[in-house]
């Protein structure tokens, strides 16, 4: 299956990207009033890079909450803004994408850190009424990533971006598993694109001058995979579902952890669970998940109705033990091809990644990990292997 024509036709990464951004704006946005969207951490970059644009700054560390996005959308509409420039990383980009989509205005991505894969994504990861949700949105018309901006970001942000890329081991696997289990359509070109993004990062010395740029390029590649497919399916599997559950603060309190850091820890947890599935019979242990209020409400509380709605119609209604048995040889082959847990943890530790629940301010206990594995699959209707495995194993 060929890749769809991308919405984001201009992506410039490297020296001179800022000058190219100004040229693009003068040619493509001529006569339009621009707005630089940032937060207090990136406002100085917005002021220096885009001095002629009006600025809209969120508080430092702002999360992508729906009410904040609605406020920005109203500001864009009420003040005659013709286009926006997202000057920041994950949350700033999601808020800008969400608001620009709502206001029906184009936006440009100017990332200030190689931290997440959402810079050119066609979906906005938002928290609305305490529920983490992914909303269809318009991708940026262009991306300009200049080393003068993203190379100055704290190392922690780049490491977080690496973790987001490594999570693609699980998201690709889950997409392929859904294909073998229930016939979900795959796109081999998108899968190849994501694999090349992972390999690009792994091939370089983390201490080299080219490493951060390779991470940025890998993040843009995986973000384009989302855009090509039209949903986050290629780049978000069970590893992201754990992260979303923790971000909802339903089984834990407030934590100070970056998105990629959470994905890195959850990737190791899910990878370990999938490897353990090789020791048993997946078909024999399968029990249909409980899409019921009685099961979900003790964890999801006031957003239970939304979670039930998310999983309606039942995504596993056609799954039987017989179908699992038929797919099991292919699924086992896919699991065996996943990296060794010890190797991946070792690579992440050498890079400085957070690998334990306690390092992202969560309970580092078997009980908490099991609860996460048990309830996270319900965050999305998406089919993952985690959704059909027993969490207690």
pLDDT recorded at residue 209 = 81
Task: Give the model's confidence band at 380: pLDDT under 50 very low, under 70 low, under 90 confident, else very high.
Answer: very high
Q: How far is CA 5 from CA 10, 185, 351, in A?
A: 12, 19, 36
Nearby residues of 30 by Cβ (< 8 Å), 6 or more positions away: none
- Residue 1 clears pLDDT 60, i.e. is over it: no
Task: Give the model's confidence band at 393: pLDDT under 50 very low, under 70 low, under 90 confident, else very high.
Answer: very low
322 burial level (CB within 10 Å; 0-12, 13-18, 19+) = exposed
Task: Give the model's confidence band at 180: pLDDT under 50 very low, under 70 low, under 90 confident, else very high.
Answer: very high
pLDDT, tens digit (0-9, with 9 covering 90-100), for 100-152: 999 999 999 999 999 999 899 989 889 888 888 888 888 999 999 999 999 99
318 burial level (CB within 10 Å; 0-12, 13-18, 19+) = exposed
Instruction: Tell which residue, 95, 82, 91, 81, has the closest CA to residue 160.
Output: 91
- Residue 16 clears pLDDT 70, i.e. is over it: yes
DSSP assigned state of 126: E
Instruction: Reduce the DSSP state of residue 376 to 3 states and report it.
Output: helix
- Please, what is the Cα angle at 47 between 163 and 65, to 5 degrees? 50
Q: What is the mean pLDDT of the chain?
A: 95
| Cα(89)–Cα(197) distance, integer angstroms | 19
pLDDT recorded at residue 5 = 67
pLDDT recorded at residue 129 = 84
Domains, the chain, with CATH or none: 10-153 (3.40.50.1970), 157-387 (1.20.1090.10)
Q: What phi and psi, each to the nearest 5 degrees, are found at residue 302?
A: -65, -15
pLDDT recorded at residue 130 = 83
- Residue 304 clears pLDDT 90, i.e. is over it: yes
Asked if omega into 381 is within 30° of 0 (cis), the reply is no
| Secondary structure (DSSP) of 188-241 | HHHHHHHHHHHHHHHTS-TTSTTHHHHHHHHHHHHHHHHHHHTSSGGG-SHHHH
What percentage of residues in the chain have a pLDDT greater than 90? 89
Identify the residue with better confidence: 129 or 294: 294
Packing angle between helix 341-351 and helix 259-276, nearest 10 degrees?
A: 160
pLDDT recorded at residue 285 = 87
pLDDT recorded at residue 134 = 85
Q: What global pTM score does this model have?
A: 0.94
């Amino acid at each position: 299956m060929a890749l769809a024509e991308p919405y984001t036709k201009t992506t410039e990464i490297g020296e001179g990207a800022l000058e190219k951004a100004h040229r693009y704006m003068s040619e493509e946005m001529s006569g339009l009033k621009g707005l630089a969207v940032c937060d207090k951490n990136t406002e100085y970059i917005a002021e220096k890079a885009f001095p002629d644009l009006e600025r809209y700054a969120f508080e430092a560390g702002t999360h992508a909450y729906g009410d904040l996005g609605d406020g920005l959308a109203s500001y864009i509409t009420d003040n005659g803004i013709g286009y926006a420039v997202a000057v920041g990383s994950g949350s700033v980009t999601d808020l800008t994408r969400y608001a620009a989509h709502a206001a029906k205005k184009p936006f440009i991505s100017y990332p200030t850190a190689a931290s997440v894969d959402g810079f050119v994504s066609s979906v906005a990861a938002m928290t609305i009424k305490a529920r983490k949700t992914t909303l269809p949105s318009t991708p940026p018309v262009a991306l300009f990533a200049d080393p003068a901006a993203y190379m100055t970001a704290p190392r922690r942000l780049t490491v977080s971006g690496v973790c987001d890329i490594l999570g693609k081991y699980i998201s690709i696997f889950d997409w392929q598993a859904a294909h073998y289990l229930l016939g979900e359509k795959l796109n081999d070109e998108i899968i190849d694109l994501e694999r090349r993004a992972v390999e690009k990062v792994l091939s370089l010395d983390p201490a080299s001058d080219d490493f951060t740029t390779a991470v940025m390029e890998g993040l843009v590649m995986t973000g384009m995979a989302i855009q090509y497919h039209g949903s986050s399916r290629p780049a978000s599997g069970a590893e992201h579902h754990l992260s979303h559950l923790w971000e909802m603060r339903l089984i834990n309190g407030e934590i100070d952890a970056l998105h990629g850091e959470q994905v890195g820890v959850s990737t190791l947890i899910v990878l370990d669970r999938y490897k353990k599935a090789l020791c048993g019979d997946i078909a024999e242990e399968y029990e249909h998940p409980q899409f019921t209020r009685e099961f979900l409400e003790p964890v999801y509380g006031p957003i239970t109705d939304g979670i039930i709605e998310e999983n309606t119609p039942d995504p596993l209604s056609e799954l039987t033990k017989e179908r699992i048995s038929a797919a099991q040889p292919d699924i086992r082959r896919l699991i065996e091809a996943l990296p060794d847990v010890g190797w991946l943890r070792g690579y992440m530790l050498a890079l400085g990644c957070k690998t334990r629940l306690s390092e992202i301010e969560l309970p580092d206990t078997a009980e908490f990990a099991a609860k996460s594995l048990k309830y996270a699959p319900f965050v999305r209707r998406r089919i993952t292997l985690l959704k059909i495995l027993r969490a207690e194993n």
